[in-house]
Amino acid sequence: MSFSQNKNQSQDSLNRQKSYRFKKFISFYKPYKLLFTADVSCASITALVSLALPLCIRYITSEVLSSGVAEAAPLIFRTVGVMLGLIIVQTVCGVFFDYKGHAMGGMMERDMREELFRHCQRLPVSFFDKEKTGTLMSRITADLLNLAETCHHGPENLLIYLVSFIGAFIILFRIDARLTLVIFTLMPLMILYTIFFQGRLRRVYRESREKIANLNARLEDTFAGVRVVKSFTNEKLEDEKFRKANEAFYRGRTNIYRNEAFYYSVMDYFFVSLVIAGVIAAGAILISRSFLSAPDLIVFLLYIGYLTTPLTRVAQMVGMFQDGFAGFNRFMDVMDLEPEVFLPVPSETIKVDESSEADKISEAKEKTLPDFRGRLEFVNVSFRYGEKLENVLENISLDIQPGESVALVGSSGAGKTTLCSLIPRFYELTAGKILLDGSDISGMTLETLRQNIGIVAQDVYLFNGTVSENIRYGKP
């Protein structure tokens, strides 16, 4: 196969993965589609109302005030009444989408966190041997928190900015096309500046996420091994390790602050001011030649923000989307891992349909006799922790009778704990088989197998709670 074919296949696989993950992301909106519809509708209404308010001002300044003092007062009061009504509608819609939109994002975050936790519970022990607890905690907490903000603010802001930009352009073009074109001659500079900083901000946001994950992992290592640290009086060594991780995170955040300052400040203070100055200069010329009225120039100045704000906030939205989808990709990196197969496993792996897994497990349990006598046989058992690693155990055969006590003796690292870990299938065999009362344990459900095995761990872990709750943990 040629290099180009490999590259095309790799790209196709990547595209399929992106499509699958996008569909998975959208699926989290489905339980809340009515709330989502109401949320984006309210966001659209607030954008439309904000566009209507300057038109009311234009009506007062250009139409009402020119109609004469006697007729002006009633028209002004009626127009102000309409504005007040619009403001109330805008406020109600704003409160709704700000509150309920955040609530929707929080519910989606809750659903994702529960799904990720359930999936982690069903991953094999080998996954936790390789993955740091601090990194996992960062995925379950910080990453999903950022994702919730994206789920909520992303569609809202995108819709508000889109409605504001298009609506303002149409209104201004209808008032005076020449002055509108003056604004748009300056916008390419803003767009180019935005494109330049978009890539830089995306990169520094990604680096910052990686550094906070490293910082969490450093914390987890130190606190989990605090007894070892104190035993060797290595507090200063851990201080230095943490200082380096913390300094790297600080530099990452500083890099974000620097790029944000150069982007937002230049956009807000330079480009927007430049647009305003250009509109005032061009508007003054048009007024002097009677092509434009002063009220229309005031309206133009009021609408400039509706055109420039979407551009100045594009990078912020890109950063938010990058932050959120990076968190979602890290979420999916774990979700895509194959869980432990709780069903009986023959020689080949079974892919479980999650929707019917509980039913299949129940059926499998009925076929598995739970009344074990306790004869345990290892038949030519071999095991290695990875495909490219050497065997830790090789051709081990044992026959342990019911009621018999057997001690495994050997130096540290000889494989005693590994051998015991194969019995409850914390790891799957590389070769050979293990029989329990003559039945291959790979043909039993994990639930049935592990419920009939008592384990006293070498390193005892106490769960958060009372002593009584820890004692009863096996049978609550």
Q: How confident is the model at residue 397 (pLDDT cuts 50, 70, 90)?
A: very high
pLDDT for position 56: 85
CATH topology of domain 3-335: ABC transporter transmembrane region fold (1.20.1560)
Q: How confident is the model at residue 381 (pLDDT cuts 50, 70, 90)?
A: very high
Residue 88 pLDDT more than 90?
A: yes
pLDDT for position 109: 87
pLDDT for position 65: 64
Residue 132 pLDDT more than 80?
A: no
Between strands 439-440 and 393-400, the pairing is unpaired
Q: Which of 166-170, 198-202, 290-294 has the lowest mean pLDDT?
A: 198-202
Instruction: Provide long-range contacts, Cβ within 8 A and 24+ apart, for 178-186.
Output: 178/282, 178/286, 178/291, 179/279, 179/282, 179/283, 179/286, 179/292, 179/297, 179/300, 182/278, 182/279, 182/282, 183/275, 183/278, 183/279, 183/304, 183/307, 185/278, 186/271, 186/274, 186/275, 186/278
Residue 369 pLDDT more than 50?
A: no
Locate 293 and state its tokens.
Answer: 């009225």
Average pLDDT over residues 200-220: 78
pLDDT for position 459: 73
Q: Which of 5-9, 148-152, 302-306 has the lowest mean pLDDT?
A: 5-9
- Reading across the β-sheet that carries 439-440, which strands appear in turn? 393-400, 376-383, 431-436, 439-440
Average pLDDT over residues 224-241: 82
Give SS3 for 68: coil
Give SS3 for 123: coil
Q: Phi first, then psi: give them for residue 161, nearest 5 degrees.
A: -65, -40
Query: What is the pTM for the complete model shown?
Result: 0.66
Q: What is the spatial distance between Cα 417 and Cα 377, in angstroms, rounded to a whole number?
A: 17
DSSP secondary structure string for all residues of 391-442 = PSEEEEEEEE-TT--------TTSSHHHHHHHTTTSS--SEEEEEETTEEGG
Average pLDDT over residues 129-152: 77
User: Of 390 and 9, which is predicted with more confidence?
Assistant: 390
Residue spans of the domains in the chain: they are 3-335, 362-471
pLDDT, tens digit (0-9, with 9 covering 90-100), for 327-353 = 788 888 888 888 765 544 443 333 334
pLDDT, tens digit (0-9, with 9 covering 90-100), for 10-68 = 677 777 887 888 888 888 899 999 999 999 999 999 989 988 888 888 887 776 666 55
CATH of domain 362-471: 3.40.50.300
H-helix segments, 61-143: 69-121, 125-130, 133-138
Between strands 393-400 and 431-436, the pairing is unpaired
User: Of 107 and 340, which is predicted with more confidence?
Assistant: 107
Q: Phi first, then psi: give them for residue 399, nearest 5 degrees.
A: -135, 105
Per-residue DSSP letter, 307: H
Within 8 A by CB and 6+ apart from 252, the residues are 204, 207, 208, 211
Q: What is the spatial distance between Cα 463 and Cα 458, in angstroms, rounded to a whole number?
A: 16
Q: What is the spatial distance between Cα 47 and Cα 95, in angstroms, rounded to a whole number?
A: 13
pLDDT, tens digit (0-9, with 9 covering 90-100), for 420-469 = 889 888 888 889 999 988 888 888 888 888 888 888 877 777 777 788 88
pLDDT for position 399: 92
Sign of CA dihedral 154, 155, 158, 161: negative
Residue 166 pLDDT more than 50?
A: yes
